Chain A
Amino acid sequence: MGNFYSDNEDMQFLFRHVNLREVAALCEDGFKFAGEFDHAPADAKEAVQNYDMVLSSLGQLSADFIAPRAEDVDREGNTLNEDGTVSYAKGIQESLEKLAQAEVMGFTLPHRFGGLNFPNVVYSMAIEIVSRADAALMNIFGLQGIAETINAFASEGIKRKYLYDFSAGKITGAMVLTEPDAGSDLQSVKLRAFTDDDGKWYLHGVKRFITNGCGDVLLVLARSEPHISDGRGLSLFVCDRGPTVHIRRLEDKLGIHGSPTCEIFFDNTPCQIIGERQRGLITYVMSLMNGARVGIAAQSMGIAEAAYRVARDYAASRKQFGVAIEKLPAVRDMLIDMKVSIEAGRALLYETSRVVDMEVGYARRLESSPPEDKAQARQLKNDQRKYRRYASMLTPMSKYYCSEMCNRVAYDSIQVLGGSGYMRDYACERHARDARITTIYEGTSQLQVVAAVRGVCSGTAEKLLGELSGQQFASEMDDLLAKLAEGAEQLNKAVAFVKEQGNEYMDLYGRALVDMAIGLITGYLFCGQASTKVDMDVAVAAKGPGDNSEMVSMRQRKASVARRYVTKNAPKISALAELICAGERSTFTDYESLIGPVPTE
């Protein structure tokens, strides 16, 4: 009997450390649903108890049922049947049934549609738990943003039609955006949406690389205004799987074999419009994508955790030169780096998810019950704007950091196992293949950097860093805080330099700028964890056989994590600042001579 929630001490710690009660109060709108729905919590304490119980149940399902099936799912993949339907791998089908029975397929949907009304920060934990068991299954479990988009923007009729079934796990969905000539650049989507004489909408055209495109409910981005060629000509539609929706092929992929990736031909498919015309891409898909990006960051966390555990386990038992290889400096250093970078990712992701929850919660309060007092209303509005700015910077940062991190960790996991890791006998090769997509889909790392660097250069990062540095810290963090303050100073200088150079230069050094900012933000988050008020005891590694009794307080452990992380990061941040301010522009000036002609054969 395993449990991917209770066996994860960092997650257990963050569950206590993150201010979930504040998030719960916003999410439950002052706990006003308790009278109406018998499962809705009556107060913050009960809400947090609910989160804990549900994560624990999901952790058990993930460890005992989903994870043991992941290898077979990877080998079996999906099947495109002759009648055009798609069959999931057996393990995926079975796991989806169990997830539906566990009532977790409407994680963030409102109570009134049968959902749990849980905050994003808890959903991120849930996605990590499921992804650790099977990264491919996450692509269906973690697609709840589709239902969430319907809930946020569609008419009441559409909501009623679909949301109960989503919550009950009776249907799954797909976000149908990408086309052969519209990948990162969604503004060039061509799929046509048109009306008949009765004003009913239809879709015609081809979509490609659609995750779970064989799902029951499809959210389709299509051009409803043929005369407008950019993003303002696009609207969002919902349609059911049916005879006019043809799955033409399933892609043969490097990883996440359990997740079907479909090419779809819509042959005059009847559909309904979501919200208003022309807002498809610029409002609805942007919102959908932001949620999905947080989801991919969480998926990355799960893969990284799984890959790390394979390496950790192996390093303790594999003996070379007469000792367990974890005694060798190069290996132990690699293991600590893996573990610390996972904890950095988790800190960043949960903070991001929390900020998203605060923003959503404040927006909802402003809409449903705005304060009568004008000063209060203004304050609420200001807070909501602040959280929105933070969310729009932290979301791409999390997606970028966690996905890149999980690739490094999965790569190093194979390295720790050496030749054995390269063989298919161990799960780390699967984790490495599954990891590879995370820096690509829902916007590549390069696009995440473009999105995040605006925040870094517009003062949002500076404001957030200022806020983070103003928290109460334990006094033993003082020297680390000084290092972080120095780093923040260097970031300000680099930003000022970049601004003088113009936008092109900002994009060129975007990654360096974003890396600096992430290093500083996570540094402060670690220092905050090391100053926590909710300590717990955790086990330390055994120093020899039979030694398993020693415990250490998490606060103390996090102080070591913060010390190592901030100390080792400071010279990197300084080097990045130097690089940015060096003004090196050969990428623009010497491209042709450096790169040479396109290879002919």
Chain B
Amino acid sequence: MPYNCIVLIKQVPDTKRITGQAMNDDGTVNRGALPAIFNPEDLNALEVALQIKEQFGGTITAITMGPPAAAAVLRDSLYRGADDAVLITDVRCAASDTLATSYILKCAVQKTGDFDIVLCGRQAIDGDTAQVGPQLAEKLGVPQITYLEELAELDGDSITARRNIGTGWQQVRTKLPVLLTVTGEANEPRVAAAKKMMKYKNAWAPVEIEQQVRAENPEVDEATIKELVERKCSILKEKGLLIKQWDLDFVEADLTWCGRGGSPTKVHRIQSVVLAAKESKNVEPSENGITEMIGELIEDKTIA
């Protein structure tokens, strides 16, 4: 039987490419200094959805919440085989913590209609909280399988999966609909597909169209801008190239639960930790030298 999958994805700064300019003086992340990428484990989640679709049929809807530029990861999802893409962008989303984010995503998922499987990456590399997936499952009122490393069986409305529990694995079974959070070990995600890229590189969200129109027509009045944007959007829609764009009103979110106001997390203090080499030590390339080094590392609990 075919399954309708919803994959929640996030655009994140590439924390593997940290340079000297990665942090602002106040300890916040300088997003401009880091390239924005598809959160790695969200690609694993998308890959699970694509394999489900290939085997059983159904649809895949990719949803992301973020600034207009986040539409890039939606295009990336379309390049890999997602059928539909939704950008949730609204200034009132700004400063949302995991609780507010999962609330907004809950509203969005419910807006898409019936779903069988919601997939998320285990965690995003910028915050590393791993909270949004589980919170979302609770808010949707569906069972969750976190830390998925293998989808063992999908049969009717029953799902069996193997999850990583740190010291080993655990195989669990539950009923659909379900929410899964997927680890990097689950698969090796496919790359963007040529023809899908050739087509969907021309897919844009309305907010991006507006930016383009403004850049191309710097001295035009607002009414004309609006008209140009609408015309362009309707052309794209006809070609199946318009990325859906929803705001908080559209997903019928209660604003008290969104943004800064809906976020109980308070950042007490951010410490900018600068690691500097104080002293260095030479290890002899011999049996003895290596044994000594390992002994030291065990002693200071660097390795177990």
- Other-chain residue from B190, B194, B201, B240 in contact with A116 (beta carbon distance below 8 A): B194
Count of A-B contacts judged by CB separation below 8 Å? 53
B193 touches A116 (CB 8 A): no
Q: Which residues of B contact A49 (CB under 8 A)?
A: 201
Given A38-B239, A49-B201, A53-B201; A103-B190 close (CB under 8 Å): no
Q: Is A347 an interface residue (CB 8 A)?
A: no
Stretch of A58-66, A284-292, A298-306 on the interface side: A58-66
Cα A41 to Cα B198 with chains together (Å): 8
B198 touches A101 (CB 8 A): no
Q: Which residue of A1, A39, A65, A116 has the most chain B CB atoms within 10 A of its CB atom?
A: A39
Q: Which residue of B194, B197, B240 has the most chain A CB atoms within 10 A of its CB atom?
A: B194
Q: Which residues of B contact A469 (CB under 8 A)?
A: none
Q: Which residue of B193, B195, B196 has the most chain A CB atoms within 10 A of its CB atom?
A: B195
Q: Which residue of B79, B191, B239 has the most chain A CB atoms within 10 A of its CB atom?
A: B191
Cα A313 to Cα B214 with chains together (Å): 48
Instruction: Give min CB distance, A93 to chain B, whole Å.
Output: 14
Q: Is A86 an interface residue (CB 8 A)?
A: no
Q: Which residues of B contact A114 (CB under 8 A)?
A: 195
A104 touches B194 (CB 8 A): yes
Cα A57 to Cα B188 with chains together (Å): 14
Residue of B nearest to A68 (CB): B188
B191 touches A39 (CB 8 A): no
Given A38-B239, A65-B188; A103-B201 close (CB under 8 Å): no
Q: Which residues of B contact A54 (CB under 8 A)?
A: 194, 197-198
Q: Is A386 an interface residue (CB 8 A)?
A: no
B191 touches A98 (CB 8 A): yes
A102 touches B190 (CB 8 A): yes
Given A38-B239, A65-B188; A53-B198 close (CB under 8 Å): yes
Q: Which residues of B contact A65 (CB under 8 A)?
A: 188, 191
Instruction: Give the residues from 40 to 95 in chain A that come closer than 8 angstroms, CB to CB, to chain B.
Output: 40-41, 49-50, 53-54, 57-58, 60-61, 64-65
A102 touches B198 (CB 8 A): no
Instruction: Give the residues from 10 to 35 in chain B that come closer than 8 angstroms, CB to CB, to chain A.
Output: 16
Residue of A nearest to B17 (CB): A1
Q: Which residues of A contact B239 (CB under 8 A)?
A: 38
Q: Which residues of B contact A61 (CB under 8 A)?
A: 191
Cα A275 to Cα B205 with chains together (Å): 49
- Other-chain residue from B16, B188, B192, B195 in contact with A39 (beta carbon distance below 8 A): B195
Instruction: Give min CB distance, A288 to chain B, whole Å.
Output: 24
Residue of A nearest to B240 (CB): A38
Residue of A nearest to B50 (CB): A101
Q: Which residues of A contact B16 (CB under 8 A)?
A: 1
B194 touches A103 (CB 8 A): yes
Residue of A nearest to B40 (CB): A1
* Residues in chain A within 8 A of chain B (CB atoms): 1, 38-41, 49-50, 53-54, 57-58, 60-61, 64-65, 98, 101-104, 114, 116
Would you list 17 pairs from A and B whose C-beta atoms are within 8 A, ordered by A residue? A38-B199, A39-B199, A50-B197, A50-B201, A54-B194, A57-B191, A57-B194, A98-B188, A98-B190, A98-B191, A102-B192, A102-B194, A103-B193, A103-B194, A114-B195, A116-B194, A116-B198
